[in-house]
Amino acid sequence: MSATTSSRSDEGSPALAPLSAEEEAVMRALGRFLLVMPRALDSDLMREQRMSASEYSVLRHLSETPGQLMRMSELATACDMSLSGMTRLAAKLESLGYLRRIRCQEDARGANAVLTEKGLARLREAWPTHLASVRRHIFDHLGELDLDRLAAAFNAMASDA
């Protein structure tokens, strides 16, 4: 519904005010950003590092955890992937020597992913490409925006979802 279209209320529901032109512009821009940006970041990594953004994300998450170890289900959630998708990706990264999968000591049914030295080295090799991509595609466009407020707003929106 556009800013010029009126909203109707269902029986018993209060009518919602339509978006202002500025609010609608933000929603459209955000929608485009959410579609385009992951592809742009992935494309840069693929072109320069022959590594997908998903692969980078797995290595990054593992590098940031104590012992560089995460339960596979937690890693899947952190990377916004299904468990079966994470299992396939972990198998690929394991075949490249970037991580190992080991049985979870607390629950024999579960598995943990552990970052290897080779995986950490590969992450460090890809990091400058990712950093340059993030700067070029995102931060170079934000100018003097208050980044603390922007991060707080994004976190609040994510918490409400």
* Rounded-to-integer distance, Cα 143 and Cα 108, Å: 50
Low-confidence ranges of the chain (pLDDT < 50): 3
Q: Which domain holds residue 76?
A: 50-137
CATH of the domain at 60: 1.10.10.10
Domain total in the chain: 1
Q: Using one digit for the tens of pLDDT, what is the confidence trace for 75-117?
A: 999 999 999 999 999 999 999 999 999 998 877 778 999 999 9
Question: Looking at the domain assignment, is residue 113 inside a domain?
Answer: yes
Domain membership of residue 83 (yes or no) is yes
Q: Kindly tell me the burial class for residue 150, based on how many C-beta atoms sit within 10 Å of its own C-beta (0-12, 13-18, 19 or more).
A: exposed
pLDDT > 70: what percent of the chain? 93
Position 85 in a domain = yes
Tokens describing residue 4: 């010029």
DSSP lists the bridge partners of residue 101 as 113
Bridge partners of 112? Answer: 71, 102
Establish if 7 belongs to a structural domain. Answer: no
The answer to whether position 118 is within a domain reads: yes
Q: Per the domain annotation, does 104 fall within a domain?
A: yes
Structure tokens at 140: 């170079």
* Separation CA 79–CA 67 (nearest Å): 18
Q: What is the pLDDT of residue 93?
A: 98
Is 144 part of a structural domain of the chain? Answer: no
Residue 57 included in any domain: yes
